[in-house]
């Protein structure tokens, strides 16, 4: 294998290996651009081909999940676990249940997760998993039977020192409960093999809120770095799930005005700005009505626009918190035109390549999810250490730890991404994470 010293050579190498995995190619290209120069400047990284090796998951497990629906018919779904990089700790990353799930998407998520987890400074490797099962419209019993069938296979590949899954899209506390229950019964072991558990059986305070809260703590650091602050800022948020709602709640607590929330059916615009009470109402009723944002709108009388994204709003800050590639080039240009100055990813890779290019050209501060949404996995890491010692830390101490971890990630981005008059957060996050993984790889040998 010959060493690839520039982006074009790398792109040719990885494209020829995975020609059909467009999400995975996109994720590796994004990081290659920043880390190849770092490799070129380090003899050990070159000698041991660290970047190419980091682009190959250590293991991919694929399995079938057969289960009985409420009509006693057999349904068959596909299940996966991508154990991407275990260099600095047990594999760690969420499970996603969604019809769009495939190997390319899980590989991209696991790859990004490895870099994100490295940034937290905690001993956690990177993984991702899930299924093409769609829990929407399924009864509670069906979701339970699916989770049990999924875990019957997954359980042989995970454990507190091996691989510790958590939730992701459509895998919330209900699904984690069913998954963990099945793991515990089969293994006769109570322990930290899954995070995001209920507080009564090994969960951690602040885990539920951590990704959204962490995003706003990071935003606070970014704004301070730019000599301004959150108070009074107009914010557009996409999504109405775990990340979006907790980000909105914390932003409002910091004095910002959140004027949009959205879902796959449209966007709710609310010029007056949502209140904390509105957010608590949605969090408490999530999943009950068919479209929670329409129900919220009946209470507040905002403007619901079907099949629309939030990015036409005039805002200071945009926080895409729904899903990958939801914010494309034309959305980015619309945000720039309307005066947006800061974009922080709450979701994983919500801004596509064209959008990131538009932000860069306009010198808009852009923070990639691997830095700004790392709060969730950081709290999962802290849940693992609490489980290992049968200890439950207080809400206040977990919230303080989350803030400290986000501050530390911010600092690493500034140190590695400082370009004089501009902080290149993408470059900073990619290089800081890469150095930690590359050094571990060199130390551990081939
Ligand atoms: P949830 O399932 O709780 O919520 C997802 C939200 O996004 C829902 O409101 C959903 O709407 C909306 N959505 C999904 N697809 C689209 C679309 N194509 N267009 C517009 N809206 C859409 O997920 P989370 O909040 O947990 O996760 C959101 C993102 O954040 C994901 O990318 C996830 O990987 C990432 N993330 C999550 C972490 C966590 O701790 N939960 C940690 C780090 C990253 P609808 O209900 O209509 O489908």
- pLDDT tens digits, one per residue of 170-221: 999 999 999 999 999 999 998 889 999 999 999 999 999 999 999 999 999 9
The pLDDT assigned to 97 comes to: 98
Q: Which tokens is 109 given? A: 């998520």
Nearest atom in ligand 1 to the alpha carbon of residue 309 is: 20
What's the CA gap between 126 and 94, in Å, rounded?
10
pLDDT surpasses 70 at 118? yes
Domain ranges of the chain: 3-54, 59-196, 210-363
Pocket around ligand 1 at a 6 A CB cut-off: 167-170, 211, 239-244, 262-265, 321-323, 326, 346-348, 373, 376
Mutation probe of ligand 1 site: the residue of 110, 136, 218, 322 with most atoms within 8 A of C-beta = 322
Nearest atom in ligand 1 to the alpha carbon of residue 376 is: 40
Mean pLDDT, rounded, for 408-431: 96
Mean pLDDT, rounded, for 351-374: 96
What band does 1 get if pLDDT is binned at 50, 70 and 90? low
Indicate if 210-363 has the same CATH topology as 59-196: yes
144 alpha-carbon distance from chain centroid: 24
Q: Which residue lies with its CA nearest to atom 19 of ligand 1?
A: 264
CATH number of 210-363: 3.40.50.720
Strand 257-263 and strand 74-85: the pairing is unpaired
Summarize pLDDT for 235-269 with one digit per residue, the tens.
999 999 999 999 999 999 999 999 999 999 999 99
Catalytic residue among 52, 128, 197, 257: 128
| Rounded distance from Cα 347 to ligand 1 centre (Å) | 7
Nearest atom in ligand 1 to the alpha carbon of residue 292 is: 46
Q: Which residue lies with its CA nearest to atom 48 of ligand 1?
A: 264
| Rounded distance from Cα 243 to ligand 1 centre (Å) | 7
Q: Which residue lies with its CA nearest to atom 30 of ligand 1?
A: 347
Instruction: Confirm or reject CATH 3.40.50.10860 for domain 59-196, answering yes or no.
Output: yes
**Residue matched to tokens 């956690």:** 124
| Rounded distance from Cα 286 to ligand 1 centre (Å) | 13
What's the CA gap between 175 and 381, in Å, rounded?
19
Summarize pLDDT for 265-304 with one digit per residue, the tens.
999 999 999 999 999 999 999 877 779 999 999 999 999 9
| Rounded distance from Cα 323 to ligand 1 centre (Å) | 5
Mean of per-residue pLDDT scores for the chain: 96
What's the CA gap between 16 and 210, in Å, rounded?
38
Annotated active-site residue 136? The verdict is no
* 3-state SS record for 384-400: HHHHHCCCCCCHHHHHH
11 CB neighbour count, 10 Å cutoff: 16
With 0-12 / 13-18 / 19 or more C-beta atoms within 10 angstroms meaning exposed / middle / buried, residue 421 is: exposed
């Amino acid at each position: 294998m010959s060493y690839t010293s520039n982006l074009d050579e790398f792109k040719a190498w990885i494209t020829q290996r995975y020609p059909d995995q467009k999400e995975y190619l996109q994720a590796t290209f994004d990081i290659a651009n920043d880390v190849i120069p770092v490799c070129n400047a380090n003899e050990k990284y070159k000698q041991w081909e660290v970047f190419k090796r980091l682009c190959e998951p250590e293991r991919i497990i694929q399995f079938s999940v057969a289960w009985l629906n409420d009509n006693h018919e057999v349904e068959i779904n596909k299940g996966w676990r991508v154990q991407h990089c275990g260099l600095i700790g047990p594999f760690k990353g969420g499970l996603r249940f969604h019809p769009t799930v495939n190997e390319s998407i899980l590989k991209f998520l696991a790859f990004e997760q490895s870099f994100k987890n490295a940034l937290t400074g905690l001993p956690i490797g990177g993984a991702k998993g899930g299924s093409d099962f769609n829990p929407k419209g399924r009864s509670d019993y069906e979701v339970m039977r699916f989770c049990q069938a999924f875990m019957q296979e997954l359980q042989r590949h995970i454990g507190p020192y091996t691989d510790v899954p958590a939730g992701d899209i459509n895998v919330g506390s209900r699904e984690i409960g069913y998954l963990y229950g099945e793991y515990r019964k089969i293994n006769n072991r109570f322990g930290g093999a899954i995070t995001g558990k209920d507080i009564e059986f090994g969960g951690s305070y602040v885990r539920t809120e951590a990704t959204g809260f962490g995003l706003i703590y990071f935003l606070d650091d970014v704004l301070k770095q730019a000599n301004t602050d959150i108070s009074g800022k107009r914010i557009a948020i996409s999504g109405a799930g775990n990340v979006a709602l907790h980000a909105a709640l914390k932003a409002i607590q910091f004095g910002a005005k959140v004027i949009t929330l959205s879902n796959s059916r449209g966007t709710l615009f609310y010029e007056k700005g949502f209140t904390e009470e509105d957010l608590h109402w949605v969090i408490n009723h999530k999943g009950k009505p068919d479209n929670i944002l329409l129900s919220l709108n009946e209470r507040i009388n905002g403007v619901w626009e079907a099949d629309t994204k939030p990015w036409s709003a005039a805002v200071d800050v945009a926080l895409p918190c729904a899903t990958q590639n939801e914010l494309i080039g034309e959305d980015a240009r619309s945000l720039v035109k309307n005066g947006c100055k800061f974009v922080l990813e709450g979701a994983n890779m919500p801004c596509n390549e064209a959008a990131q290019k538009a932000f860069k050209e306009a010198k808009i501060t852009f923070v990639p999810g691997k830095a700004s949404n790392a709060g969730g996995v950081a709290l999962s890491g802290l849940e693992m250490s609490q489980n290992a010692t049968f200890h439950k830390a207080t809400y206040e101490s977990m919230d303080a730890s989350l803030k400290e971890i986000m501050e530390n990630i911010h600092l690493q981005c500034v140190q590695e991404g400082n370009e004089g008059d501009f902080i290149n957060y993408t470059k900073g996050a990619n290089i800081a994470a890469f150095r930690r993984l590359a050094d571990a790889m060199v130390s551990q040998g081939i």
